[in-house]
Structure 1
Amino acid sequence: MVNGVHKNTPHQYQPVEGLLDIIAEKSEIIRILRNNKANLTRKLATKATATDDLKKLVMAAAHSGVDRVDALMRVGLKNGMSARAMLGLVGKAATNLYKPKGFTAEELARSVLLLKVAGPRAVEILQRSTGAPSLSTTRRVALSCPFQVSAGVPTKEEICENVSNTLGHGKRWALTEELKGSAPDPFADVSGYVLMFDEIKTEGRLRWDDRTNKIVGVAREDAAKVSLEFSAMEELDRICDAVIKGDVRLATEATVAAIGLLTGNSRTYGAYPVMVSGTCKTEPAEPHAKLIQTVIDACHSATEPTPGRLYCLASDGEARRGAALAKLTQKRPLSPSSRIHKYLETLRLLDLLIGDDDVTCDKDYKHIFKRLRNLLLRAMGIMVFGTHITTEVLGWHLRSEGVSPNKVKNLLNPNDKQDVVLAYNLLKAIWELPEAREGAHPAFAATRRHIRVLGRLFYHLVSPYLAIDFSLRDQLYHLSAAAHLLTCLYLHPSGGNKFCPRVLYADIQIMIKNVYFCIAKAKCDRLSGNFYIIHLGTDRLETSFGLCRSMIGNDSNVDLVQFGHRVANIMEANHIYRAYPDWDHTPRRLTLPPLQDKTELSAKADHVNPASWRGDVNVGNVSLATPW
């Protein structure tokens, strides 16, 4: 009773003062609940209005026909705008009163790629039809590096400048911060590089290069006969007179040298052109070797350091360059003091001739595949352990296993000798031939056995480059098997040139030897790194050539000055393709599909690259002696 009556006491026992307090408390609770209901009603009305605005915004975005609605939404969200305010922006955009100007890295990259590949007119069409970045914006964000085309015989200074420009451009390339990698140096995981050499067809045309003030277009074989410095019209008249008389020849092809980095980083493993020089294809091996040595010296002394060491000099099967490369890469036996000697000294029968700094020669594996197909198609056929195999014999055996006559005719078509896919399909069809059925004629069965031996050679040569489940050990094992089997076939009494030309035999052995040497160098330079043998050869340079041809159309060739201008475009297009690989489609004639599960052909993947390789290619997990 001291503290009064509790409020939960029945009302008949409450005093008047207690009843008044209870009534006041209940009245306050009722007032608060009424206010909460009113506030909730107002909030729901506001939310309903916002929901209606969002629905209107969705409908407007879907049916207004406004380009780049996503960019408009990004601008609204960035500025904290409401749905009604963004709806107003959509209305203005629909009447061309407003255009969002913010562009993503992907949109900028798409416009830059179109500018480099298709030209400014295509960028303007894209901008007017989809609201993409304008031509001026695209040119402002696009990066380009100057490239110097050699008017005469390339000098070390010219090549050094190109090396510094192209490698510096590749290291710094990024349209926006979004495209920059997390690593400060994209070349950090590079163990070494390949110098690739090849020719591309050009128009025989004289041009004035405003950067060097020289007349470009004379073949370097005849460049010393005239003055290429443009000081007066008389100089040009003398050159034209010499061309008309036949004393000076125009360049009909361009010799291109490019650096190919040995790395799995998709941003950096493209081709970096460092030299373009016109030629008429009459240069002897000795001066050509001096030209290659000049490129090597320039790569070593450029102001922009070349990442890693030079592993090999890669080329196709061109005979003149083959003789020049032999002079540079077969100078002396491998020294016991060399760091790679301990990895290679136990490999019996392996050719240990090397050049300066243990450099070796390499042959492009895709060219090897094409030459193997052409070998099968030659009129005299080939001899395999005394069995004469011709195209008629191959066609007979393929048809006997259910291959349609039309497909056999296509596989053995002698008119298309440059199609890599066709070469691969023929080699694959041969190695998939089963043993002859029981009861087959003895001569047929004997021929089938020798064709299958040939098929095993093809499988051992091709699978290391296409079987994406192969480890580095598997690749070395198959290449070793190919080298030894090829030696047996070539040295057989009925072999020799009757089996294959000596040059083809030597090129295959050079290619296999180079793989072993390059892996030995990688073990010395980056023991924990990966090594992709698909980066050897000149495939990356061939891809750049294809991109150059697509820039100018399939029915025309560039001249030397035009090609020099397009080198920067090629490099930037390659960078964008590697940043957005889904945009790229490799030319059909250069595409080799991977072998999955070591035997089955994948129809989904269209190109073999480091990203698609699933096998263990860590050089620290393989010993060269075991697979050999």
Structure 2
Amino acid sequence: LNMSRQLATFARKMGDYERLVIAIATNDVPRVHALINTAIRNGASVNTITAQITEAVQGLRSTKGFTKLENDLSLLIYRLGGQSLLYSLNHALGLPSLRTIGNSANFVKVMPTIGPISMDEIRQNIRHVVVETRALAGRTGKHGIVVMMDEVAIEESATYFPSHNKVGGLCQKHSGTLPLTLQTYKSALTIVDALREGTVHFGKEMTLVAVKFSNEPNIYPILAAPTCKHETAADMVDLYEKIMSGWEEIAEEICGTIWNFSTDGDGDRRRAGYLLFCKYELPADDSLYQILSHLAGLNLCTGLKRRLSTFDWRHILKRDCTLIRQPSGMCCDAGRVVNPFSLAQCLKLLPDHDDYSVHKLLNPNDPQDVPRAIDLIEAIISLRDVLAPTNDVELAANLDSVRLLGHLLENLALPFITPELSLSEQIEMLSTYAHLSFVLFREYRLEFMSNQLYGDTQTAIKNIVFTVAKQQELDRTGKANANDDGTDPVEGYFAFMRMAGGHNSAMNYKQAVERTGWACDIEGVYSRWPHLHKESRRRKITRTEQKDHLNSSKWKADIISGNCDLIDRWRLGEVKAITILRRHSKLSPEKYNFRAILKNGVDFLRPWGGNIYPGFIDDKMTPDQTPDRSLHEPAPS
């Protein structure tokens, strides 16, 4: 009898489960998983769950409560597709509505720059976009701060901001004297006359200034200003000082100190960087001095609070490849120039290359394509192991120079693109490059590379070393990665801005400011759910290796800052550079006797001493013709 009852109960339960499966399989119920999860938490039976599914099909029941992913998906849909698309998907798939995500999300709004750049808008953006956003997200603790700057093209037109009753879209440099508030019809005519006379201009581009926190992927825009591209180095100095002042006032005690300013190699920003961030010698009682003073050749000049400037390594690699592809080429040894003609002969010796592939390497369709630049660099590196034909003396001589260039590029490029390299190995290779380029630049000057390219590269390496030392001082368990140096996050941000406009790159200043805030929301979603993001093909530097796009979170080797011995690795780089020069160059040993050369004010950024920075002088001027540029002042107490 008991067995019969048990069998009957079992059969009834099987029937209940069968009806549940049929209900799920035959009905398209939005968010059925959420409905079942809620019912189980409430202790509902199988029959009750089946009944609730039936009610949901009839529109009598809707599921409440959304996951973080569902809220973020709705936010992404809203920013990329607009309110109408979100409404449709809310009713079709049960995703959160705009009102629902509005209760949980902090929509970012960036204050526009109307007229000259003011401290008010910088302060407000730092407070709202950075401090308040991080507080709502529960992100606390101090980090090293990187200030990044870049431009995005906008339509040259005036726009009206109703909330300010002002005309925007005019260049911030020259619009300070105009009545931008539309009080009368005459105000509009005054602006038209100024545009006609050329005393003010439409903004050609929008300058975006954003901050990034060490060991975090997101960036936070703090300035979006229209520019006519007529700014000078003095204007950049003024802008840098305003940003530093605003940050110190609003966010430094909460978020951390600015470590460096990163740009793409703009000439005026370069000069401003030398003026502000090569100003004070690091004092002997500074904790960083105890380590960095043992790194022979490293320039120890900084700005206030040990701030530095740096340059995007992607732009540096592209400029190196542009130099190699020019007829004038790059002189690496004994007056022999590596240019497209000599390099093409050598590249054809590689087993995987023929006339067509070599032509593509040296004449890419898009010179700004980072993967194409890396393809060329990797091909040159491969030539180190190629044997020259014994019957061609000229080709053998060219190959010797290319081998030296291969060692140079290997130690510059691989630290940024090889996730199998640890932080210690990165520093060692960058030290090797710094020593090699120092010797070659002193010997061949502009035949080797331009003053600006040499200075930018050495500046970037200096900043990476300083960043590692600062991270060790802040938190030795924190990560530091050479790959993180540069402005690439801002370029990715511009891609989000275009996505927010339906991939329409044409936008006026008002639209650009709005999309700057939208891009912040989009980036936040992608940083929380990286599998949702399709990386830009052109910016995906690992395309050539067929891997996922690189960042510190996916770096395979050890990049914990505390595990890197800067002094030891810098010294190993020096030894490696000496070995390469002995084997592959015709320079006499005194040319790379670093202990004898690196004294009396000579370092890698000042290869001739005398406070002369090559990146700060014109290519047409030699060191002897250039006046002493005393950029140093006693550090303030």
- In 2, Cα distance between equivalents of 1:62 and 1:296: 60
Q: Give the C-alpha shift of residue 460 in structure 1.
A: 0.7
- In 1, Cα distance between equivalents of 2:313 and 2:60: 58
2:89 matched to 1:126? yes
2:223 matched to 1:296? no
2:502 maps to which of 553, 571, 579 = 553
Please give the residue correspondences for 1:158-177 in structure 2 after superposition, counting only pairs within 5 Å: 158-174=121-137
- In 1, Cα distance between equivalents of 2:18 and 2:398: 75
2:148 maps to which of 196, 216, 219 = 196
Instruction: In structure 2, give the amino acid aligned to 1:186.
Output: R
Alignment match, 2:107: 144
Encode CA deviations 1:18-74: one digit per residue, 9 max, x unaligned.
xxxxxxxxxxxxxxxxxxx34x42233122112122122213312323332212222
- In 2, Cα distance between equivalents of 1:498 and 1:85: 82
1:469 maps to which of 420, 424, 436 = 420
Alignment match, 2:437: 486
- In 2, Cα distance between equivalents of 1:130 and 1:535: 39
Alignment match, 2:386: 435
- In 1, Cα distance between equivalents of 2:472 and 2:251: 27
- In 1, Cα distance between equivalents of 2:328 and 2:191: 47
2:319 matched to 1:371? yes
**8 Å Cα contact 2:172-2:227 kept in structure 1:** yes
- In 1, Cα distance between equivalents of 2:328 and 2:482: 34
Distance 1:64 1:553, change over 3 A: closer
Q: Give the C-alpha shift of residue 204 in structure 1.
A: 1.7
Distance 1:325 1:211, change over 3 A: farther
Alignment match, 2:9: 46
Question: For 2:331, what is the secondary structure of its paired residue?
Answer: strand
Alignment match, 2:483: 534
**8 Å Cα contact 2:78-2:85 kept in structure 1:** yes
Identity %: 28
**8 Å Cα contact 1:375-1:381 kept in structure 2:** yes
Instruction: In structure 2, give the amino acid aligned to 1:103.
Output: F
Distance 1:527 1:71, change over 3 A: closer
Please give the residue correspondences for 1:62-461 in structure 2 after superposition, counting only pairs within 5 Å: 62-174=25-137, 185-188=138-141, 190-263=142-215, 268-302=216-250, 305-385=253-333, 386-401=335-350, 402-433=352-383, 434-437=385-388, 439=390, 441-461=392-412
**8 Å Cα contact 1:191-1:526 kept in structure 2:** no
**8 Å Cα contact 1:161-1:302 kept in structure 2:** no
Q: Which 10-residue stretch deviates more, 94-103 or 149-158?
A: 94-103
Question: For 1:225, what is the secondary structure of its paired residue?
Answer: coil
Q: Which 10-residue stretch deviates more, 194-203 or 50-59?
A: 50-59
Q: Which 10-residue stretch deviates more, 361-370 or 349-358?
A: 349-358
**8 Å Cα contact 1:529-1:619 kept in structure 2:** yes
TM-score (norm 2): 0.84
2:492 matched to 1:543? yes
- In 1, Cα distance between equivalents of 2:252 and 2:432: 41
Instruction: In structure 2, give the amino acid aligned to 1:447.
Output: N
Q: Give the C-alpha shift of residue 438 in structure 1.
A: 5.4
Instruction: In structure 1, give the amino acid aligned to 2:77.
Output: L
Q: Give the C-alpha shift of residue 97 in structure 1.
A: 4.3
**8 Å Cα contact 1:196-1:314 kept in structure 2:** yes
Q: Give the C-alpha shift of residue 440 in structure 1.
A: 5.1
Alignment match, 1:619: 561
- In 1, Cα distance between equivalents of 2:538 and 2:453: 22
Distance 1:118 1:424, change over 3 A: farther
Alignment match, 2:514: 565
Distance 1:424 1:306, change over 3 A: farther
**8 Å Cα contact 2:349-2:386 kept in structure 1:** no
Please give the residue correspondences for 1:494-509 in structure 2 after superposition, counting only pairs within 5 Å: 495-509=444-458
Q: Give the C-alpha shift of residue 503 in structure 1.
A: 0.8
Alignment match, 1:575: 524
- In 1, Cα distance between equivalents of 2:192 and 2:26: 64
Question: For 2:566, what is the secondary structure of its paired residue?
Answer: coil
Q: How many residues align?
A: 567
2:462 matched to 1:513? yes
**8 Å Cα contact 2:312-2:460 kept in structure 1:** yes
Q: Which 10-residue stretch deviates more, 41-50 or 95-104?
A: 95-104
Larger radius of gyration, structure 1 or 2? 1
Instruction: In structure 1, give the amino acid aligned to 2:41.
Output: K
Q: Give the C-alpha shift of residue 390 in structure 1.
A: 2.0
- In 2, Cα distance between equivalents of 1:237 and 1:140: 44
Question: For 1:278, what is the secondary structure of its paired residue?
Answer: strand
- In 1, Cα distance between equivalents of 2:550 and 2:498: 22
Q: Give the C-alpha shift of residue 479 in structure 1.
A: 0.4
Encode CA deviations 1:346-397: one digit per residue, 9 max, x unaligned.
2222222221122111001111111112112223222221222222332332
TM-score (norm 1): 0.85
Q: Give the C-alpha shift of residue 537 in structure 1.
A: 1.4
Distance 1:470 1:504, change over 3 A: same
- In 1, Cα distance between equivalents of 2:524 and 2:19: 41
Q: Give the C-alpha shift of residue 304 in structure 1.
A: 7.6
**8 Å Cα contact 1:299-1:306 kept in structure 2:** no
Q: Give the C-alpha shift of residue 282 in structure 1.
A: 0.7
Instruction: In structure 2, give the amino acid aligned to 1:419.
Output: D
Q: Give the C-alpha shift of residue 110 in structure 1.
A: 0.7
- In 1, Cα distance between equivalents of 2:341 and 2:52: 72
Distance 1:437 1:282, change over 3 A: same
- In 2, Cα distance between equivalents of 1:408 and 1:147: 47
Q: Give the C-alpha shift of residue 257 in structure 1.
A: 1.1
Question: For 2:353, what is the secondary structure of its paired residue?
Answer: coil
Alignment match, 2:472: 523
Distance 1:555 1:561, change over 3 A: closer
Distance 1:423 1:187, change over 3 A: farther
- In 1, Cα distance between equivalents of 2:251 and 2:415: 37
Q: Give the C-alpha shift of residue 339 in structure 1.
A: 2.5
- In 1, Cα distance between equivalents of 2:100 and 2:391: 72
Instruction: In structure 1, give the amino acid aligned to 2:162.
Output: D
- In 2, Cα distance between equivalents of 1:406 and 1:118: 43
- In 1, Cα distance between equivalents of 2:288 and 2:295: 12
Q: Which 10-residue stretch deviates more, 242-251 or 430-439?
A: 430-439
Encode CA deviations 1:230-252: one digit per residue, 9 max, x unaligned.
32332222112211232211111
Question: Over aligned residues, Cα RMSD in angstroms?
Answer: 2.2
- In 1, Cα distance between equivalents of 2:268 and 2:65: 54
Q: Which runs of 5+ in 1 are unaligned?
A: 1-36, 175-184, 595-600
Question: For 1:254, what is the secondary structure of its paired residue?
Answer: strand
Distance 1:58 1:307, change over 3 A: same
